[in-house]
Amino acid sequence: MAIRGVFASDSGIVGDPRGDFAAALLQEVPTGTAPLFALSSGMPSRNATDTVVNWFEENHISGRTTQNGANNSTTNTTMNVADASSYPPNIVLMNESTGEYVFVTNVVANALTVVRGFAGSTPANVPDGSGWQRIGTAFEEGSSVPVAISNLGEPVHNLCQIFRNTWNVTGTSEAVDYYTGSQTAKNQRDAALFHGEDIERAMWFGKRVIGIKNGQPFRNMNGLDAMVITNVTAAGGTTNWTQMDAFLQQIFARNIKGKPNERIAFCGNQALSVLNQIARLNSTTYIEPGQTEFGINVHKWITPFGDISLMTHPLFVESPLWTKDLRVMHPGAFETRWLRKTHMDAYDRDGTRAGTDADYGVYTSELSVEYHIQRTAGRLTGLTAGAAG
């Protein structure tokens, strides 16, 4: 069972148990060192059919562009803009700075031919860098078919990585009566934890590599840090709410169609301390203790843009650098792709396999991860101290 009530992007989070290795980690070791992998049990997951996973992403066309070079004439009917790729003839634009409306009659590259002072507005000099907003299309009766505009998706891919961890116990060790119980069972649990930690670290910090090792194909997958490249900010010295506000605006500016606009954040103890310092110094924004379910402590960070479920990450806490970091992600954007579910090959019947006086087994998983619309995530590093403002 995954954590109930942390986020709502996937209905399975409050549904039946998934029964996979990630869910077992959360059940058996609720405060363990692989929280993202454990929580992925309740996030979207699909089987992979190849060692390479592919998906397509499209950015929303906002309809806004900017003036490229000032137009210091109220009669000049040519407007050069930064990007006119989504502007066909017969659209109405409004300049954000002057309030003038124009009607576009022709488009060549990024040059627009327009009717000035449209709809009774007053023509004015157009400042360089001022914004043009698309205000819909307008066509006459019996008009011909307009120019088609389409949005081409960008292909993205990741690689399936093989994870393997072994447990081993000698025949002598197995025969000794320990106060802690079965040595075989303990070693199996330890190997499972190491296996989960390895997958967790790759989910965060993996870097895509493909090649040959020992004459066989070898693959390493991209983790979140490699896939999230837009909203990456380094905090310098003290950090105040104004800086946090700018960081959060970037992350919450985009959402995934059909998903709640929510986020989950992982951080180290130092970053959490800084956020609490900012909270104490700013009365309008605060962090309040949230509910604890299945042993994972979840804080709710209430911001003007949306709520963030916040939890400290044990692997971040142990690093003097990562403990200052805050990593924010959309739970509905993260998806695991399993080529081979976690399984264990065990040789623990009688301790005499191939003449070896030991029992052993191997955990194996082969999977990849996808993060869709990377602009919905972000990373704020180097949080050292909080300040007012």
For residues 100-123, one letter each, b for 16 or more C-beta atoms within 10 angstroms of the residue's C-beta and e for the rest, the string is bbbbbeebeeeebebebbbeeeeb
User: Is 324 among the domain residues?
Assistant: yes
Average pLDDT for 159-176: 83
Residues 335 and 205 in one domain: yes
336 CB neighbour count, 10 Å cutoff: 22
Residues 306 and 331 in one domain: yes
User: Is 167 among the domain residues?
Assistant: no
User: Is 81 among the domain residues?
Assistant: yes
293 lies in which domain range? 11-55+182-387
Q: Which of helix, strand or coil describes residue 387?
A: strand
347-383: per-residue pLDDT in tens?
655 545 566 777 788 899 999 999 988 889 999 999 9
40-84: per-residue pLDDT in tens?
777 788 899 899 998 887 666 678 899 999 999 999 999 999 988
CA-based nearest residue to 343, from 198, 192, 185, 217:
192
Q: What is the pLDDT of residue 7?
A: 47
Residues 321 and 215 in one domain: yes
Distance (Å, whole) CA 306 – CA 250: 12
Residues 217 and 361 in one domain: yes
Residues 238 and 350 in one domain: yes
Distance (Å, whole) CA 232 – CA 217: 33
| Contact between 258 and 371 (Cβ < 8 Å) | no
Least confident of 151-165, 281-295, 311-325: 281-295
| Contact between 300 and 290 (Cβ < 8 Å) | yes
Q: What is the CA radius of gyration of the chain?
A: 27
Q: For the domain that residue 106 is a member of, what is the CATH number?
A: 2.40.30
Residues 43 and 74 in one domain: no
User: Is 147 among the domain residues?
Assistant: no
Half-sphere exposure of 299 (CA within 13 A, CB side): 20
User: Is 172 among the domain residues?
Assistant: no
Q: What is the pLDDT of residue 232?
A: 92
0.95 surpassed by pTM: no
Residues 82 and 195 in one domain: no
Q: Give the domain-ending residue among 81, 114, 137.
A: 137
Average pLDDT for 309-319: 86
User: Is 214 among the domain residues?
Assistant: yes
Confidence of residue 273 (pLDDT cuts 50, 70, 90): confident
User: Is 154 among the domain residues?
Assistant: no
Residues 302 and 321 in one domain: yes
Half-sphere exposure of 73 (CA within 13 A, CB side): 5
Q: Give the domain-ending residue among 116, 137, 158.
A: 137
Q: Which of 110-114, 166-170, 317-321 has the highest mean pLDDT?
A: 110-114
Distance (Å, whole) CA 80 – CA 110: 6
Residues 47 and 69 in one domain: no
Q: Give the domain-ending residue among 137, 152, 170.
A: 137
Residues 27 and 89 in one domain: no
Residues 94 and 231 in one domain: no
Q: Please report, as a single letter, which amino acid is at residue 168.
A: N
27/289: higher pLDDT: 289
7/342: higher pLDDT: 342
Residues 368 and 233 in one domain: yes
User: Is 142 among the domain residues?
Assistant: no
Q: What is the pLDDT of residue 169?
A: 78
29: which residues sit within 8 A by CB, 6+ positions away? 193
- The count of domains in the chain is 2
